[in-house]
Structure 1
Amino acid sequence: MLRFLFDRSNHRVVCLAIGSFFGAVTASGDEPAVPVFKDGEAQVVKAFEDSDYWIRHDLWVETEFDSDGDEKNDRMHVSVTRPRQTESEGLKLPVVYVSSPYFAGTGDKGQQYFWNPRQEVGAEPPEREHFPAVELKGTRPIISKSHVKEWVSRGYIVVHSSSPGTGLSQGCPTIGGDNESLAPKAVVDWLYGRGKGFTTPDGDEPVVADWCTGKVGMTGTSYNGTIPLAAATTGVEGLEAIIPVAPNTSYYHYYRSNGLVRHPFGFLGEDIDYLYDFIHSGNEARREYCDCEVRDKEMADGMDRVTGDYNDFWAGRDYLNDLQPLKAAVLMAHAFNDWNVVPEHSVRIYEALKAKGVPCQAFFHQGGHGGPPPMKMMNRWFTRYLHGIENDVEKDPRAWIVREQDDQDKPTPYEDFPNPAASPVTLYLQAGAPEQGSLSMSPSAKQGTETLVDNFSFDGDALARAPWTEHRLIYVSDPLTEPVHVSGASRISVKVASSKPAANLSVWLVSLPWTEGKKTRITDNIITRGWADPQNHRSLTEGEPLVPGQFYELSFDLQPDDQIIAKGQQIGLMIFSSDRDFTLHPTPGTKLTVDLDATSITLPIVGGESQLRDALSPAK
């Protein structure tokens, strides 16, 4: 195995081999180990594969910001894993870089630390209890072993760093603040040869990355997938490519939806200040300062759990607003049934990147949160942009979608997402409450209004299955005589009145009949969902209390999707109020009345109106 030390004479990390291993390699006359490529992909190289001979060391990289108020620029804790040949043979390699707030441990997941969702919509929330400080975990010099096996053996160096205010990194967590973009930028600057690295968090002994070619790629999942995008928005030279997997690209879109307080699936009551507490694993000496300035001032003033409006606080944590400097090649990855970080997070960025003209592709699958592209896709992406091998990856189809019954490593290529052959088709509502109404491609004679009564006690699955209930309105198409392919974002236009000044509004698009018992696929019945606050019918930034009984018109997109709805199924539009797994839980009894003649749903159908009309025609 290898040991490492710091050589003060030339400010480099060097390694010592036990015995005369390096001498034996030289004497044997073996060819120097170098990356190997075949069919446009980096291959596993035997000389890089043995982890006993990898060099591991850590350091601190100085940033350009002071987020913890100690009047010194914060330093980020960084660890490096690289093949021994970067020392013994002077080999220079590109870097795969992963940054995270989770590496050093996280806080208690107990529900008692979430915000209590049992409150009225538009009211001041009850106080939230902050959980105890996170217990720091981890052993130097290794911050994480993620991605190491896959990439070091293929001729890359793998670098990890803890984000500000976590682990041994200095600074404050800000959950999407500027320092979380500038921290990975500083690491890329150091890898490129511009930035400053040191052996200790407070010393002045430098470390240089002279084993790096200066080309860096980033990847990671969820928060770890957000950070690559954050770094790329700085336009930092040397960050050539990123592969964000299920990234949170806007904290507003994570914790709010069209003006409504909406929680990520599985974390009912979580909000941005809870996530701050959850990741704040470092910097004990500056914890009081960080809590006061970030959580108790900036977040408390800006997050607004009363109105749910979009404001400057949320705009500053929306990476769509920061894309102008971005120039890295981007391979987005997301799941259409990710109800934690919903799919619009990647789709909205992907659409903007296409318009911007940077190299970009998208991989989508039908599962839940997480799920990277197949290794072949990632390998080709990094091979092209980090090693500079002309493998024509930029000429590949733009969109890769795992079809409903396929393995996740076998996506189907498409010209783009949404499918260019999709066009909007509008369906209209026909009365039927409290049972099922109908969906039709043609508006019917005057249908009037129908009313539902809010009750968060019933979850969406139960409401969709129910043959008769006053707690939702549901409108269902005829059975499909052939499959229908939906690709893109469905959009609802609804005219609604509330019996109270504020109310939740939830919409599901479902496939019926409901699959009973154990599901075989997560996509069995829920096509897509959406949520909105009728108080924001005019403006996302300035909601206004509703006049009880007065009708308001609003339109909003449901989550983007690409799904083939099977022959024999029916398409159902369900309108209800409180979505038990996502929204606040006001006292049951609020009434929502929908004007059916002014309400419709527009679906992006591959093949357009003629295709859907054929599918809804009686079987021949």
Structure 2
Amino acid sequence: MKKYFLLIALILLNFSLLAQEKAEPWFKDGEAQIVSAFENQNDWIRTDLWVETTFDTDGDGKPDRMHVDVTRPKQTEDGLKLPVVYESSPYFAGVAPEVEGAFHDVHHELGAEEKEIVHPSVKRLGERPIISNSQIKTWVPRGYIVVHSSSPGTGLSQGSPTVGGDNESLAPKAVIDWLNGRAKGYTTPDGNEEVKAYWTTGKVGMTGTSYNGTIPLAAATTGVEGLEAIIPIAPNTSYYHYYRSNGLVRSPGGYLGEDVDVLYDFINSGDETKRAYGDSIYRDTEIKNGIDRKTGDYNEFWAGRDYLNDMKPMKAALFMSHGFNDWNVMPEHSYRIYKAAEAMGLPVKIYYHQYGHGGPPPFSMMNKWFTKYLFGIENDIDKGPKAWIVRENDKNDNPTPYADYPNPDAENVTLHLKATSKNEGMLTVEKTKKQGTQTLIDDYNFSAEKLAQLSTSKNRLLFVTPILKEDLHLSGLSKMHIKLASSKPATNLSVYMVSLPWNTDKNAKITDNIITRGWADPQNSKSISESEPLKPGKFYELSFNLIPDDQVIPAGQQIGLMIFSSDSEFTILPNPGTELTVDLDKTTVEIPVVGGKKAFDKAVNR
């Protein structure tokens, strides 16, 4: 028997060595392996070209052409055809410098006219034939061709940026069409000498982080044939959800005052002689008229930049990746697309870690995803648990599998407010009647972090659970229901769930303090598409989701619900003094507890 197994092992080894000698892809444990003949960078063939699109966004009357580079093993010149890993970006050719006044000034009353921002100019890099070196050392030795492209109006690509407009979906579609012989590629941006993609199978996988992770989804929503699988990492899936929240003007974390027009200037690295046209048509007209910083309402402009609205044609297998503590591109972006793709019956998987912006899935999982859908190797990556979540004390390469996200064992537990003093109270499953109201005073000078640590404050309301006797696992969306009145016609509303006592240690883990957050505009109590000035003193009811999370709150902590107004890190910052009055009997928060009410009761009462 031992001789039999030894013989099998030798046969398998010979097959592996033979595959490498032939310079063909080979696979082990469902993953593409490094082929020694593909490793020598000096042998790689690196070329660039321009792919013709179906749109004209620089006003010259000709279809825009996208700048594309290709890196492939030399063996593809001898008839070997390989699939493609493709990354596209608006950042490859450089971005705008930091200039004072380039961001919107957020220090003003809500709804007030804002002064014009400064528009910095990008110094274009536009190198060729190498647009980027990303992905190459990882995938080319494993038997893939790597392709990059600069998105419209960036680098040596023609056209204009639109920050989520249709051309940013159609541009990568054109590149994939070219890889499949359906679009034309040329050796120069304006010439007629064609370039053919004779060296590929036509099967394409896309990946990238942030904006580079948005573009794979944008391409997939076109339903383009040949795009088999995507791995978006921390993608922006809706510019409204990036720059607004439930009717409120809200900046992405770390970029207070940024908006679509600011991002347009940041990436506008294309042909200097064509920029004036794009500035006039897109930045100074379409974007300026559409973003509506006065009300923050959802409108046609935002609907056209929300990929959830465009998913019907999508066929690509989706592997999402995101961090639960990404307060730049918040995890709601991946969650909403993942759930929609799942409902459509597409192959889906999601990986969440506990850190901030970026962070790909473990490489083995990415390898298997592309191996399955680009090479057709059966490896079971599409089967079994759909969700892989890194627990609080684990490393990112060691996620825990779950059947799905949210955890199928999670059930909403409704917590009511119970006042114990002027601006503090308890969160309880029992409802207390006839409590009246509590009032807070808006003052952005007190950060959320500071407010959460104060034992008492007139600038926030804070309600806490009993001290947890054992760990409590939350998974999914918490939902806020609030009834409030404002002393002014407009006000910010910010809601945080925090873990207390606050860990002030400089080495505190990112999961120690913030559980989740949410923001809303009380003027949009009826709809995010319709604002109505508040009547001072009149009560309004609104409901909204907080940002998705999956977190184990350890025993010894308390879950705190903090309600305040202006958020110094995220919102417009009006003069302090607006009063928000909350009806305690009509305000609740639903939290998704793994094990439901039984688990919650056990954690707080054991």
Quickly name the TM-score band, shorter chain normalised.
Answer: over 0.9
Cα distance in 2 for residues equivalent to 1:80 and 1:372: 23
Q: Deviations over 1:461-498 (max 9, x none)?
A: 00000111111000011100010000000001000000
**Which residue, out of 386, 390, 406, partners 1:402?**
390
Provide the secondary structure at the position in 2 that maps to 1:66.
coil
Residue 519 of structure 1: how far off its partner (Å): 3.3
**Which residue, out of 93, 98, 104, partners 1:109?**
98
Match of 1:188 in 2: 176
Match of 2:209 in 1: 221
Bigger mean CA deviation after superposition, 348-357 or 435-444: 435-444
Contact 2:423 2:439 in 1 (8 A): no
1:168 counterpart = 2:161: no
Match of 2:9 in 1: none
Contact 2:94 2:123 in 1 (8 A): yes
Match of 2:256 in 1: 268
Q: Deviations over 1:379-416 (max 9, x none)?
A: 00000000110112111310000000000011000000
Q: Deviations over 1:122-174 (max 9, x none)?
A: 2222221212x200115311000011111011110000000000000000100
Provide the secondary structure at the position in 2 that maps to 1:267.
coil
1:599 counterpart = 2:583: no
Cα distance in 1 for residues equivalent to 2:115 and 2:204: 45
- Corresponding letter in the other structure for 1:158: V
Cα distance in 1 for residues equivalent to 2:149 and 2:79: 24
Match of 1:355 in 2: 343
- Aligned length, in residue pairs: 589
Contact 1:528 1:558 in 2 (8 A): yes
CA distance 1:435–1:592, shift in 2 (3 Å)? closer
**Which residue, out of 96, 108, 116, partners 1:127?**
116
1:253 counterpart = 2:252: no
Cα distance in 2 for residues equivalent to 1:150 and 1:287: 35
Cα distance in 2 for residues equivalent to 1:480 and 1:138: 57
**Which residue, out of 378, 388, 402, partners 2:366?**
378
Provide the secondary structure at the position in 2 that maps to 1:153.
helix
Provide the secondary structure at the position in 2 that maps to 1:393.
coil
Match of 2:500 in 1: 512
Residue 598 of structure 1: how far off its partner (Å): 0.3
Bigger mean CA deviation after superposition, 430-439 or 170-179: 430-439
Match of 2:8 in 1: none
Residue 30 of structure 1: how far off its partner (Å): 8.8
Match of 2:39 in 1: 49
Contact 2:126 2:156 in 1 (8 A): no
Match of 1:417 in 2: 405
Cα distance in 2 for residues equivalent to 1:247 and 1:553: 32
1:78 counterpart = 2:60: no
Cα distance in 1 for residues equivalent to 2:125 and 2:594: 50
Q: Deviations over 1:281-338 (max 9, x none)?
A: 0121211100000000001111000000000000000000000000000000011110
Match of 1:426 in 2: 414
Provide the secondary structure at the position in 2 that maps to 1:112.
coil
Cα distance in 2 for residues equivalent to 1:94 and 1:583: 45
Bigger mean CA deviation after superposition, 443-452 or 77-86: 443-452
Provide the secondary structure at the position in 2 that maps to 1:348.
helix
Cα distance in 2 for residues equivalent to 1:215 and 1:438: 56
Match of 1:65 in 2: 55
Cα distance in 2 for residues equivalent to 1:482 and 1:96: 46
Provide the secondary structure at the position in 2 that maps to 1:113.
coil
Match of 1:20 in 2: none
Residue 111 of structure 1: how far off its partner (Å): 4.8
Match of 1:564 in 2: 552
- Corresponding letter in the other structure for 1:38: K
- Corresponding letter in the other structure for 2:275: R
* Structure 1: segments with no counterpart, 5+ residues: 1-28
- Corresponding letter in the other structure for 1:105: G
TM-score by length of 1: 0.94
Residue 433 of structure 1: how far off its partner (Å): 4.8
- Corresponding letter in the other structure for 1:72: K
Q: Quote the sequence identity (%).
A: 65
Contact 2:21 2:37 in 1 (8 A): no
1:459 counterpart = 2:447: yes
1:241 counterpart = 2:213: no
Q: Deviations over 1:206-257 (max 9, x none)?
A: 0001001010000000000000000000000000000000000000000000
**Which residue, out of 470, 485, 494, partners 2:458?**
470
Bigger mean CA deviation after superposition, 105-114 or 360-369: 105-114
Cα distance in 1 for residues equivalent to 2:457 and 2:508: 27
Match of 2:599 in 1: 611
Q: Deviations over 1:514-570 (max 9, x none)?
A: 001213321111000000000000011111000001000000000000000001100
Match of 1:308 in 2: 296
- Corresponding letter in the other structure for 2:83: P
- Corresponding letter in the other structure for 2:417: L
Structural RMSD (CA): 1.2
Provide the secondary structure at the position in 1 that maps to 2:139.
helix
- Corresponding letter in the other structure for 2:344: K
- Corresponding letter in the other structure for 1:518: K
Residue 436 of structure 1: how far off its partner (Å): 2.9
Contact 2:20 2:35 in 1 (8 A): no
Cα distance in 1 for residues equivalent to 2:119 and 2:89: 22
Cα distance in 1 for residues equivalent to 2:421 and 2:141: 62
Match of 1:36 in 2: 26
Bigger mean CA deviation after superposition, 575-584 or 45-54: 45-54
Provide the secondary structure at the position in 2 that maps to 1:613.
helix
Contact 1:482 1:566 in 2 (8 A): yes
Bigger mean CA deviation after superposition, 265-274 or 432-441: 432-441
Cα distance in 2 for residues equivalent to 1:59 and 1:434: 68
Extract structure 1 runs of 4+ deviating beyond 4 A.
none
Match of 1:324 in 2: 312
Cα distance in 1 for residues equivalent to 2:469 and 2:166: 52
Cα distance in 1 for residues equivalent to 2:361 and 2:263: 27
Match of 2:128 in 1: 140
Cα distance in 1 for residues equivalent to 2:273 and 2:95: 18
Provide the secondary structure at the position in 2 that maps to 1:604.
strand
Contact 1:435 1:467 in 2 (8 A): no
CA distance 1:536–1:41, shift in 2 (3 Å)? same
- Corresponding letter in the other structure for 1:91: L
Provide the secondary structure at the position in 2 that maps to 1:175.
coil
**Which residue, out of 82, 87, 90, partners 1:98?**
87
Match of 1:18 in 2: none
1:552 counterpart = 2:540: yes
- Corresponding letter in the other structure for 1:34: E
Contact 1:433 1:470 in 2 (8 A): no
Cα distance in 2 for residues equivalent to 1:136 and 1:209: 28
Match of 2:284 in 1: 296
Residue 112 of structure 1: how far off its partner (Å): 2.4
Contact 1:434 1:469 in 2 (8 A): no
Contact 1:40 1:383 in 2 (8 A): yes
Cα distance in 2 for residues equivalent to 1:440 and 1:366: 27
Cα distance in 1 for residues equivalent to 2:477 and 2:135: 33
**Which residue, out of 565, 573, 585, partners 1:585?**
573
